Amino acid sequence: MYVTCDLCDEHGEALGVLPSGLVHFGGRVRFHGPAETVKTFEVNSRVRELAHEPGNGRVMVVDGGGSDRRALLGDVLAGAALSNGWAGVVIWGAVRDIAELAKLDLGVMALARTPARCDRKGEGETGIPVTIGGVRISPGDMIVADEDGVIVAPPGLIGG
Distance CA 87, CA 124 (A): 22
Q: Which pTM does this prediction carry?
A: 0.96
Would 159 be classed as within a structural domain? no
Q: How many domains does the chain have?
A: 1
Quote the pLDDT of residue 121.
Answer: 83
Would 26 be classed as within a structural domain? yes
Would 91 be classed as within a structural domain? yes
Task: Kindly give the residue spans of alpha helices, DSSP state H, lying in the chain.
Answer: 4-11, 45-51, 75-83, 98-101
Would 145 be classed as within a structural domain? yes
Higher pLDDT, 121 or 7: 7
Q: What is the CATH number of the domain that holds 26?
A: 3.50.30.40
The torsion angle over the Cα atoms of residues 133, 137, 142 and 147, rounded to 10 degrees, is 20
Would 160 be classed as within a structural domain? no
β-pair partners for 71:
94, 117
The torsion angle over the Cα atoms of residues 64, 89, 72 and 15, rounded to 10 degrees, is -10
Would 16 be classed as within a structural domain? yes
Can you give the residue range of the structural domain that contains 95? 4-153
Distance CA 54, CA 7 (A): 28
Would 158 be classed as within a structural domain? no
Could you read off the pLDDT of 8-27 as tens digits, one per residue? 999 999 999 999 999 999 99
Could you read off the pLDDT of 56-109 as tens digits, one per residue? 999 999 999 999 999 999 999 999 999 999 999 999 999 999 999 999 999 999
Quote the pLDDT of residue 160.
Answer: 57
Exposed / middle / buried, residue 66 (Cβ in 10 Å: 0-12, 13-18, 19+): middle
Quote the pLDDT of residue 62.
Answer: 98
Quote the pLDDT of residue 120.
Answer: 78
Could you read off the pLDDT of 35-56 as tens digits, one per residue? 999 999 999 999 999 999 999 9
Residues near 5 by beta carbon (within 8 Å), at least 6 away in sequence: 148
Would 69 be classed as within a structural domain? yes
